[in-house]
Structure 1
Amino acid sequence: MEKEKRPSKDSGCHPAYRPDIDGLRAVAVLFVVLFHAFPSHLRGGFVGVDVFFVISGFLISSIIFKSVDAGAFSLSDFYGRRVKRIFPALFLVLLSSYLFGWYFLLENEYEQLGKHIASGAAFISNIVLFTESGYFDSAAELKPLLHLWSLGVEEQFYIFWPLLVMLAWRKGVSLAWLIAGVFVVSFSLGIVTIKNNEEAAFYLPLTRFWELLAGSLLAWLKLYAEPVGSAVETGKGKAFLNKANVFSLVGVLFLIVAVTQINERSEFPGYWALFPVLGAVLIIAAGPQAWVNEKVLSSRLFVWVGLISYPLYLWHWPILSFGYILEDGSPAVATRLLGVAGAFLLAWLTYQFVEKRVRSRVGGKKILVLVFAMSGIGLVGLATYLGNGFGFRLNSNLAMDEQAIKQEREQYWSEISGSGFRDDATNILIFGDSQAFDIYKALANDDRFGLKIYQTSFECAAFMMPKWGAEKNAESCRQNFATMISSPEIQDAEIFVYAAHWQMAGEPEDAEAFYRQAVAEIKALNPEIKVVFFGPKPLIGETWLSINAITKGQRSLPLMNASLNEKRWLRPEETDYARSMAGRLGVDFIDTEEVFCAGGCPFYENNKFSYFDQLHWTEFGASLFMTKLKARGEFQSLVQ
């Protein structure tokens, strides 16, 4: 670092306050909040986190560089400031989530919350979430502390970054080369990883560090590369399109592209993350005198939101997530608006009465108190996780308890091969994924049928499609079809039933060719066989915990039934797709949704549940479907 031009020591180690950066924080947090509250309206809003990474890298690296250069850097002081900045609001959110969950969450929900509190307190949420399911999967909205993954990435970065900077300073290594080297390694690793494991690229720290380093590089440029650091920021020139304004406007354009063009199907972070990252870099580089920065981002409203952006980020998602949980995964618009308003109120209270006081008054001993408090809530979360969610909290005097549902689920899935073909029966060969097993269980209620099933536990593509979802599942699906087509049952069966999850968006554009090829192969082996496609089943709540919630008296059965019938049941687009596919192939079609929901979609009857999770029937649900199928006579006409 001796070769780099140093800022004067009397300039202080903290960068001058820039209200426009608080305004940029406001933009970032509003992106995230609006995305979580109304995901279909701002599908790329999650890129606000990437903007936060850049801001953090810029500000914190500026402090580190100047402190190290001035010989005033102290690891204990640095981490003490991090504790004062991060711990107070985070502790409040973790404690509040735990207390709320005590009264409203079920065993499995509370067990998971405990694990996430422990990982959040230890700043390893990103690692723990990586071992679970994806950020965009259906269960994501049922994880109230999902958003803490970003804190994990950030704090993991600051464990190593100050040490690397100090080492470079002592060894005389240029900061520019250090930043560039780690940046290239991290970015390249992210590009390679996303091709094989998108969740790893999203959550793991090494594939995200480059975003913070983008801010670090800008900090270096402003401190040590005078032509870049000052000429741009001053916005010299009378013309509106001076360097500062061009940088700022292009940065805004990049952010607009990011929030409007990036969505959950994009390969993200990857190359797409360059849009929010470069957008934030350009806006910060433009400096406070750029028109957008001065007139918009530095306005009182944007600065106010920016000042409460950290507690707002922490509060908003637990509130919205609990709304998803308590309203069966589909909270009303009013509920979400109220949740956002509540998050703003709590964020302001936290900033005004907690953060401001802690930052100005906390000394060394009180920092230890914060550390012990965070450790304590983490240990409480860990105990809750190890205690399986402390089920003693809940009522247990109603119909099916959680253990009963688990036992039924295990028993339901225990028979997977079928009852076998018989000479005195109509023999039916059933093929597909777990949805095929539900149809098998329904048909098993009629002793006129001899049944054989070939199914996988995955959401399988139809027959021999080369790609569908995760590649690890595709191979199992292809093998399942190959085993079935070579079995003796294919020639002995009178009816071939295909049942699957039917996700139109997940199938390739040439899906019909694979369906047609499979039907042709089946007909070639058994020209007399009748081929029947069963359409998709109705959906209910996001997880089987929705059902258990009623049994524990935690949530209202009438409210649940209303939610299911109004919002959660039918999938007309998928049903139309399945019906159209069957029609084009000239095979018979049974509308599973229409049959099951004739006279209303029964979720709970005679103290029994028809589903034990989002998409799978109980024994009662399967028998109920068969009763309704017989009443309609559609399937009976096929077996005569």
Structure 2
Amino acid sequence: YRPEIDGLRAIAVIPVILFHAGVQLFSGGFVGVDIFFVISGYLITTIILADLEAGQFSLLKFYERRARRILPALYVVMASCLPFAWLWLMPSDAKAFFNSVLSVLVFASNMFFWRNTEYFDAGSELKPLLHTWSLGVEEQFYVLFPIFLMLAWRLGRKRIVGLLTIGALLSLALSVYATSTKPVVAFFLLPTRGWELAMGSLIAFYLEGKARDQFPPALNQALSFVGFGLIAGAALTFTKETPFPGFYALVPTVGAGLIIVFGSPETFVGRLLASRVFVGVGLISYSAYLWHQPLLSFARHRSLTEPGEMVMAGIIVLTFGLAYMTWRYVETPFRRGNIVPQRLLWRVSLASAVLIAGSTVGLASITVEERNIVDREMRAQWRSGTCMFGVDQTYETLLQNHCDVVPGASAQARDDASRSSKRFVLYGDSLAAHLYPGLVRGLGEDGIIQLTAGGCSAIRVTKGRRCTDFYDWFVDDYVPTNKIDGIIVSSSWLGAYERIGDEEFRTRLDALFEKLKGRRVIVYSQPASFLVDIERYLYRIEKITREVPRTLELEPQNLEAVNTALSEESAKFGFEFIDITQLFCSRSQCGVVKDGVVYFGDRIHLALSGSVLVAELTHGLLTRDYAGAPGPGASDKSTRDNTLPREALIVRNLDGTIRYWSDGAKKLYGWAPYDVLGKMSHQLLKTAFPVPLKVIEEELGTKGRWDGQLGHVLRDGSRVRVVSHWVTEQFPHSQDTSMKVIEVNSPLNTSSGSFRDELISLLY
């Protein structure tokens, strides 16, 4: 017995637990698993060699020892997880958990997680049994390695060591290659992890029969310190971005190997690891490893946000408390043959496995896959499966459901003067479909034609026939042969932009715009893109708290680059670009919930309330009259010269509070939307009126419009005179009864002599 090996187990398990708890200091704590692999390879080989030397090695006895060591505590933890998984996890997560339980029972959890997850992805921390992948690797090693040693024993130690060395080097080479080409394979599977276990085995062969004092004390001190330093360095400096395992896994594994070889009790490192605290933690390390991930995972499932430091600290304390109880009352008794005989061990193990498997299958069968209420509401409003065809459908679904034509105007629509008489086509993927519920409230069912496809970008970026056929049909067949007042285009722009890069994105966007040239085209940005799973968050609200928080703001991904590309390419063709990001986001935070209203249904899609908000604040921009815009090569200088500001569109409340600030307003005045939203427009721009503001407001209230010239101060302090046109609007059938003002400003120095008349004709 070497107490420092138990101490080494302690410095393996502690970083793993702290890493999974989100302690930033231990950003590379996942390397603790690699230390366990080296320890396992060393100890297992030492045990087998001793039995082979004595001529009493039994495969059945070996598997019995492994079963006593692994199964009892594992089954206790798995059985404890089942009821909490069924009660607390959303159905899709519960289904995945039940499948992972079955994979653990057949020693294949590493294969399951290889096919279904990435260790460092955003959702990995929510998988209660993710950590059992390492048990799968070890169990597969335990099945194969003893058989290899039995068959190769007659070849002699040197040949066995040679074969092990060759196998380890091949495994390491495969690990290095797969880490750069197939990182998930490299992380989870035995062929790319086997070299770490083989390293421990080779150390066992090297140390067999050798005295512990064979090396000079100074060398032992130095190399054991180096080993400890390598482990500490990896645990403290590696991150999720470190290419792993590959060559980087040599750092903690070599460190563990140096401690095993040189960390004798006479060294400082050996004495430290052999101390009572480290040995105590090492003894319960297996149970601590089993308990920590389910506890952390369930805590995250039960919390609407990431649990705080005190909660995490409490979970870590609970982990070691449960680990001690499991070690004392489960692990220790089952390891003793006089307490649990061999026959009883196999019977209990088999019965436990059958009971857990049966319970898992039973719970899975009564777990109904359902979506949260916001998601159900969203997809019904999107007309999913009809006017947004799904992944197993083609664009012909749109034709079969008559989505390509406007139904005859109903009497209600004809009598509703608040409705627009214009007809728009909504084109794109699900980020176009999520605009439909709001748009249809303002434009009416007769004013909007929905032609959308789930998973198909608005631009031609995929080789899949389903999406390219839809794109070709829309731009080559539908658009040229139908009379429409405008085409609204929206898509998951960020995903396409990141996949193909800025230059290619602009090229393909221009290809779409070239096909739509001569039409009025309104391009919508996507509202936001979150890294957190909003859908799971909303499920927790619905099932756990039964309450919606008054406010929730989360950090989004940066959309500035893709929105710049959309704005600039739209301007080239005289198309309108509406940045709806500003309706929900400040510079660093986006409002998922505001005043108790949920605006987002998942990471990128708007809930019904969000869709309505977008429609309310952009309805007037859509329904104003449009005289057409020249395409590329037209003679209008303001269209060809993208450096000149176009008209500035501002949506504000009657009291002047700014609600929307267009890209043209940003170019004209110098302020970005984030700088001005919520501020009073007249105070911000230091507006100089031709007549008292009260007179203008009276005319606006009486006639619903006003036009004239105003003086404004730009962000840089310079002054500009603008032709300004104001129109009041109230969104039809909206719960928000407040009146809004659409203000259109254009600088006099960019217009021709009759600019004022042209602007007025454009707006009426």
Give the TM-score normalised by structure 1: 0.78
Return the alpha-carbon distance in structure 2 between the equivalents of residues 333 and 477 of structure 1.
Answer: 48
Residue of structure 2 in register with 1:79 after alignment:
63
The 3-state SS of whatever aligns with 2:104 is: helix
Residue of structure 2 in register with 1:622 after alignment:
611
**Structure 1 segment 237-256 matched on structure 2, within 5 A:** 237=217, 242-256=218-232
Is 1:215 aligned with 2:200?
yes
- Between stretches 168-177 and 409-418, larger displacement belongs to 409-418
Residue of structure 2 in register with 1:470 after alignment:
none
Report if the CA contact (8 A) 2:19-2:29 is conserved. yes
Is 1:500 aligned with 2:504?
no
Return the alpha-carbon distance in structure 1 between the equivalents of residues 492 and 281 of structure 2.
Answer: 47
Structure 1 residues 363, 461: CA separation in 2 closer, same or farther (over 3 Å shift)?
farther
Return the alpha-carbon distance in structure 1 between the equivalents of residues 206 and 465 of structure 2.
Answer: 52
Is 1:561 aligned with 2:549?
yes
Residue of structure 2 in register with 1:595 after alignment:
583
Report if the CA contact (8 A) 1:251-1:279 is conserved. yes
Residue of structure 1 in register with 2:280 after alignment:
304
Provide, for residues 329-365 of structure 1, a one-character-per-residue CA deviation record: whole Å limited to 9, x for no partner: 5222222221111111111222223222322332212
Report if the CA contact (8 A) 2:523-2:570 is conserved. no
Task: Give the superposition deviation at 1:131.
Answer: 2.4
Equivalent of 1:344 in 314, 320, 344: 320
How high is the sequence identity, in percent, across the aligned residues? 29
Task: Give the superposition deviation at 1:80.
Answer: 1.0
Report if the CA contact (8 A) 1:438-1:617 is conserved. yes
The 3-state SS of whatever aligns with 1:208 is: helix
Task: Give the superposition deviation at 1:119.
Answer: 2.1
Is 1:286 aligned with 2:271?
no
Residue of structure 2 in register with 1:6 after alignment:
none
Q: Which amino acid aligns with 2:329?
A: F
Structure 1 residues 279, 479: CA separation in 2 closer, same or farther (over 3 Å shift)?
farther
Give the greater-gyration-radius structure (CA). Answer: 2
Return the alpha-carbon distance in structure 2 between the equivalents of residues 578 and 40 of structure 1.
Answer: 31
The 3-state SS of whatever aligns with 1:265 is: coil
The 3-state SS of whatever aligns with 1:555 is: helix
Q: Which amino acid aligns with 1:236?
A: P
Return the alpha-carbon distance in structure 2 between the equivalents of residues 488 and 637 of structure 1.
Answer: 37
**Superposition CA RMSD, Å:** 4.2
Task: Give the superposition deviation at 1:91.
Answer: 1.6
Equivalent of 2:348 in 360, 370, 373: 370
Return the alpha-carbon distance in structure 1 between the equivalents of residues 36 and 265 of structure 2.
Answer: 21
Q: Which amino acid aligns with 1:561?
A: P
Structure 1 residues 44, 531: CA separation in 2 closer, same or farther (over 3 Å shift)?
farther
Return the alpha-carbon distance in structure 2 between the equivalents of residues 600 and 289 of structure 1.
Answer: 58
Structure 1 residues 479, 35: CA separation in 2 closer, same or farther (over 3 Å shift)?
farther
Q: Which amino acid aligns with 2:384?
A: Y
**Structure 1 segment 256-275 matched on structure 2, within 5 A:** 256-275=232-251
Report if the CA contact (8 A) 1:25-1:306 is conserved. yes
**Structure 1 segment 403-552 matched on structure 2, within 5 A:** 408=380, 411-412=383-384, 414-416=386-388, 420=404, 425=422, 427=424, 430-431=427-428, 434-439=430-435, 442-443=438-439, 445-447=441-443, 457=455, 487=476, 497-500=489-492, 502=494, 507=498, 511-518=501-508, 520-521=510-511, 532=523, 534-537=525-528, 539=530, 542=533, 544-551=535-542
Report if the CA contact (8 A) 2:12-2:35 is conserved. yes
Return the alpha-carbon distance in structure 2 between the equivalents of residues 409 and 286 of structure 1.
Answer: 68
Structure (1/2) with the larger strand percentage: 2
Structure 1 residues 290, 207: CA separation in 2 closer, same or farther (over 3 Å shift)?
farther
Report if the CA contact (8 A) 1:251-1:281 is conserved. yes
Task: Give the superposition deviation at 1:574.
Answer: 1.6
Report if the CA contact (8 A) 1:26-1:303 is conserved. yes
Equivalent of 1:320 in 270, 276, 296: 296
Report if the CA contact (8 A) 2:128-2:298 is conserved. yes
Return the alpha-carbon distance in structure 2 between the equivalents of residues 367 and 374 of structure 1.
Answer: 10
Provide, for residues 464-498 of structure 1, a one-character-per-residue CA deviation record: whole Å limited to 9, x for no partner: 6xxxxxxxx89899969985997467889966745
Return the alpha-carbon distance in structure 2 between the equivalents of residues 297 and 495 of structure 1.
Answer: 70
Residue of structure 2 in register with 1:11 after alignment:
none
Q: Which amino acid aligns with 1:185?
A: L
Is 1:205 aligned with 2:205?
no
Q: Which amino acid aligns with 1:359?
A: R
Task: Give the superposition deviation at 1:129.
Answer: 1.8
Q: Where in structure 2 are there 5+ consecutive unaligned residues?
A: 389-394, 407-419, 620-650, 652-658, 663-741, 745-761
**Structure 1 segment 353-368 matched on structure 2, within 5 A:** 353-360=329-336, 361-368=339-346
Structure 1 residues 124, 245: CA separation in 2 closer, same or farther (over 3 Å shift)?
same
Provide, for residues 378-401 of structure 1, a one-character-per-residue CA deviation record: whole Å limited to 9, x for no partner: 32344235414379xxxx9xx977
Report if the CA contact (8 A) 1:412-1:618 is conserved. no
Provide, for residues 566-615 of structure 1, a one-character-per-residue CA deviation record: whole Å limited to 9, x for no partner: 46x342x5245555666777867655454247996448979xx7655444
Task: Give the superposition deviation at 1:556.
Answer: 0.6
Return the alpha-carbon distance in structure 1 between the equivalents of residues 152 and 743 of structure 2.
Answer: 80
Return the alpha-carbon distance in structure 1 between the equivalents of residues 231 and 37 of structure 2.
Answer: 14
- Between stretches 352-361 and 73-82, larger displacement belongs to 352-361
Provide, for residues 220-255 of structure 1, a one-character-per-residue CA deviation record: whole Å limited to 9, x for no partner: 11127x6xxx58x64414xxxx33233223323332
Residue of structure 2 in register with 1:236 after alignment:
216
Q: Which amino acid aligns with 1:412?
A: S
Provide, for residues 173-224 of structure 1, a one-character-per-residue CA deviation record: whole Å limited to 9, x for no partner: 7211231232233333333434443222222222222211111111111127
Equivalent of 1:158 in 121, 142, 150: 142
Is 1:91 aligned with 2:75?
yes
Task: Give the superposition deviation at 1:366.
Answer: 2.7
Is 1:101 aligned with 2:73?
no
Q: Which amino acid aligns with 2:352?
A: M
Return the alpha-carbon distance in structure 1 between the equivalents of residues 199 and 268 of structure 2.
Answer: 21
Return the alpha-carbon distance in structure 2 between the equivalents of residues 351 and 260 of structure 1.
Answer: 29
Structure 1 residues 604, 192: CA separation in 2 closer, same or farther (over 3 Å shift)?
farther
Return the alpha-carbon distance in structure 2 between the equivalents of residues 461 and 263 of structure 1.
Answer: 36
Structure 1 residues 513, 351: CA separation in 2 closer, same or farther (over 3 Å shift)?
same
The 3-state SS of whatever aligns with 2:172 is: helix
Is 1:46 aligned with 2:30?
yes
Provide, for residues 79-98 of structure 1, a one-character-per-residue CA deviation record: whole Å limited to 9, x for no partner: 11111111221122112111
Return the alpha-carbon distance in structure 1 between the equivalents of residues 241 and 463 of structure 2.
Answer: 19
Task: Give the superposition deviation at 1:440.
Answer: 5.5
Task: Give the superposition deviation at 1:321.
Answer: 0.3
Report if the CA contact (8 A) 2:583-2:660 is conserved. no
The 3-state SS of whatever aligns with 1:344 is: helix
Q: Which amino acid aligns with 1:542?
A: D
Task: Give the superposition deviation at 1:452.
Answer: 6.7
Residue of structure 1 in register with 2:308 after alignment:
332
Return the alpha-carbon distance in structure 1 between the equivalents of residues 385 and 197 of structure 2.
Answer: 47
Return the alpha-carbon distance in structure 2 between the equivalents of residues 409 and 363 of structure 1.
Answer: 63
Report if the CA contact (8 A) 1:610-1:621 is conserved. yes
Return the alpha-carbon distance in structure 1 between the equivalents of residues 234 and 208 of structure 2.
Answer: 29
Structure 1 residues 182, 414: CA separation in 2 closer, same or farther (over 3 Å shift)?
farther
Task: Give the superposition deviation at 1:409.
Answer: 8.9
Q: Which amino acid aligns with 1:30?
A: I
Return the alpha-carbon distance in structure 2 between the equivalents of residues 409 and 333 of structure 1.
Answer: 40
Q: Which amino acid aligns with 2:118?
A: G
Return the alpha-carbon distance in structure 1 between the equivalents of residues 242 and 132 of structure 2.
Answer: 22
The 3-state SS of whatever aligns with 1:266 is: coil
The 3-state SS of whatever aligns with 2:250 is: helix
Return the alpha-carbon distance in structure 2 between the equivalents of residues 483 and 334 of structure 1.
Answer: 56
Report if the CA contact (8 A) 2:372-2:538 is conserved. no
Residue of structure 1 in register with 2:637 after alignment:
none
Report if the CA contact (8 A) 1:107-1:388 is conserved. no
Q: Which has the higher contact order (CA 8 A, sep 6+)?
A: 1
Q: Which amino acid aligns with 2:492?
A: A
The 3-state SS of whatever aligns with 1:362 is: coil
